[in-house]
Amino acid sequence: MKFSAQKFGTGPQSFPRALRWALLSVVLGSLACRGESEVAHAHPPKSGKGAPSETPRKPEAKPPEPPAAASTQARELSWRFSGHPSGVEQVRVYIPAHAAGQRFPTLIALHGRGESLKGAERGSEGWLLDYALREQLARLQHPPLTRDDFRGLIQADALERINRSLVKEPYRGLVLVFPYVPDRFRGESGWGEAARVAHFFAHTLWPKLREEAPVDGNLAIDGVSLGARLSWMVGCAQPELFRVVSGTQMALIEAEVPYFVERSLRARKRNAKLLFRVVSSDADVFQPVSKALSEALRAASIPHEQRRLRGAHGYRFNRGPGGLEMLLYHDRKLRGLAIISQ
């Protein structure tokens, strides 16, 4: 199905496509240069083990002991894929603390362009370090959350709703996957580059996760800014792989909206249960385009969810409502639970 730019209100542009992409690169570059702050690491305490031994007086058969409630502390893995054609050279994986046999839904979370410029090893730490996700995970395990946890970017009534919901349904945890995102995926050629990343996720990364991590088979993909753009492209290239395809503060220009809608339609034909999700914030520079994308998806009868949070495009948002919303949403959605409304 073909969609014209005029149909979705994007109209012919009065300047060349190359110039539009140059402008988008300037916007992304300026956002990537915003300041950062150090984030404390949360490391689970190590526990020792030991059990008293008993020596019987005579060789009598002892009754079988009940199995121990084995558990594993939260841990992080780092996988290297040097020279892979997708450009994804480094992947970090967070595995929550869990009992023997316990499995979790999985979320692939993609960072923004600021971390792309730091290289594969450092960039793959974007969510855990630069966006303070370790800190957010620790807070979710010890509610109630405070306004400071959201960096002040939340209304009192919304915070109260979240804490009430966490009392009834605590955060259970996700296997979190953080691939390095190279600084690519712009223009029409970006779809071909994204298809290579999608192939890597489907045929290399996901099989490795199923073999080495306690995953339950439910998979979602999300990201912020450039990562949100790639998240949507990957989801459209491998729709059978995912239950949810989401993008937060997506780096997008209005002229691209019809192409994203057309690709979304193709993806839904391959996976009728696939859910799209558009997340923006009130002071985000890309908020008008996120709104246009949501309206175009609705006009094309493509089921999706839309969420508008508070905050601008930058680290404060990522370290506050951006990261917490992402964790809470996918923790519930992939388990079929009610979603918390901010």
* 137 alpha-carbon distance from chain centroid: 14
**pLDDT at residue 29, as a whole number:** 54
- What is the spatial distance between Cα 281 and Cα 283, in angstroms, rounded to a whole number? 6
Round the CA-based radius of gyration of the chain to a whole number and report it: 22
**Angle (CA) 297 226 179, round 5°:** 110
**pLDDT at residue 247, as a whole number:** 98
Provide the sign of the torsion angle of the four alpha carbons 327, 328, 331, 336, taken in this order: negative
CB 268, CB 8: distance < 8 Å: no
**pLDDT at residue 125, as a whole number:** 97
**pLDDT at residue 70, as a whole number:** 52
**pLDDT at residue 140, as a whole number:** 98
**pLDDT at residue 82, as a whole number:** 83
- The predicted model scores a pTM of 0.82
Look at residues 238, 224, 240, 277 and name the one whose alpha carbon lies nearest to residue 28. 224
**pLDDT at residue 188, as a whole number:** 85
The stretches in the chain having pLDDT less than 50 are 1-15, 18-19, 22-23, 26, 32-33, 35-69
- What is the spatial distance between Cα 109 and Cα 224, in angstroms, rounded to a whole number? 8
